[in-house]
Amino acid sequence: MYRQVLKAQWLAARLPVVLLALLGFALPLLIVTYGGSLENAPSDRVAQWLYAAEKIGTLIPGLALLVGLLLGIGAWAPDHAGKHVYALSLPVPRSMYVLLRFAAGGTLLAAPVVALGLGSLLAVEAIKLPVGVHAYPLQLTIRFALAALVCYAIFFSISIATKRAALVVLALICGAFLADLVLAVLSVSGSASVTTTAFYLLTNWPGPLSILMGRWALFDV
């Protein structure tokens, strides 16, 4: 059953998967466009290069978000198009079908992750690092995989959510903004902000989105 679902999902999402894999492979290589050895490079070049590594690194969580978005929504695209007739015709409970869809999407997610890992390894091999600068290809790949998985789970759930669930989420978001507006109008303590606090809690450990924050440089000290 899993293989059939995976095959159906691959056929529906192969173009985005291939494009995302290409992006994942290219991104780490962008960092080493200077190429060559940095062991005896002029000092300002090493500084520029580290700066570039950090800047390019900030694109990687963006790629994780894109992967999660396209694969999460793509996982349910054929079902939405077919009005869920195919799913209803299958002799499996709905929860099992959701698991199969999630697993199939997760398998496809491995393609950009592996591509990023390969790109990182190739980038590391292409360059000789000066003393004190290290490469983090494995950590970067694992972090990317986790970030992509979180984004994928979010968009996967949103795609299949009921209207009521979507309304609840929307109401929560609007409520937070409304609360901020009320606090501002009532001039309650200048630093109090519901949205800021919520964002802080979500994006700082142990917040679920903390994986998207932090450092993403392939080469660093």
State which of residues 23, 29, 30, 84 lies at the interface with other proteins (CB under 8 A). 84
State which of residues 89, 95, 187, 191 lies at the interface with other proteins (CB under 8 A). 95
Q: How many whole angstroms separate alpha carbon 110 and alpha carbon 192?
A: 41
Residue 196's CB is within 10 A of a number of other CB atoms, namely 12
Helix or strand run (H / E) with residue 206: none
- Half-sphere exposure of residue 12: CA atoms within 13 angstroms, side-chain side: 22
32 binds other proteins (CB under 8 A): no
The candidate with the shortest Cα–Cα distance to 105, out of 144, 162, 138, 151, is: 151
Kindly indicate which of the ranges 8-16, 21-29, 93-101, 177-185 contains the residues binding other proteins, using the contact rule CB under 8 A: 93-101
**110, 52 Cβ separation under 8 angstroms:** no
Task: State the burial class of residue 130 (Cβ atoms within 10 Å of its Cβ: 0-12, 13-18, 19+).
Answer: middle
Give the nearest distance from C-beta 152 to other proteins in angstroms: 8
Kindly indicate which of the ranges 3-11, 21-29, 44-52, 171-179 contains the residues binding other proteins, using the contact rule CB under 8 A: 44-52
Kindly indicate which of the ranges 28-36, 145-153, 178-186, 189-197 contains the residues binding other proteins, using the contact rule CB under 8 A: 145-153
The candidate with the shortest Cα–Cα distance to 28, out of 91, 116, 152, is: 116
67 binds other proteins (CB under 8 A): no
State which of residues 59, 118, 122, 154 lies at the interface with other proteins (CB under 8 A). 154
94 binds other proteins (CB under 8 A): yes
Give the DSSP letter of residue 12: H
Binding site for other proteins (CB under 8 A): 38, 43-44, 46-48, 50-51, 84, 87-88, 94-95, 98-99, 102, 130-134, 136, 138-140, 142-143, 146-147, 149-150, 152-154, 156-157, 160-162, 165, 205-208, 210-211, 214-218, 220-221
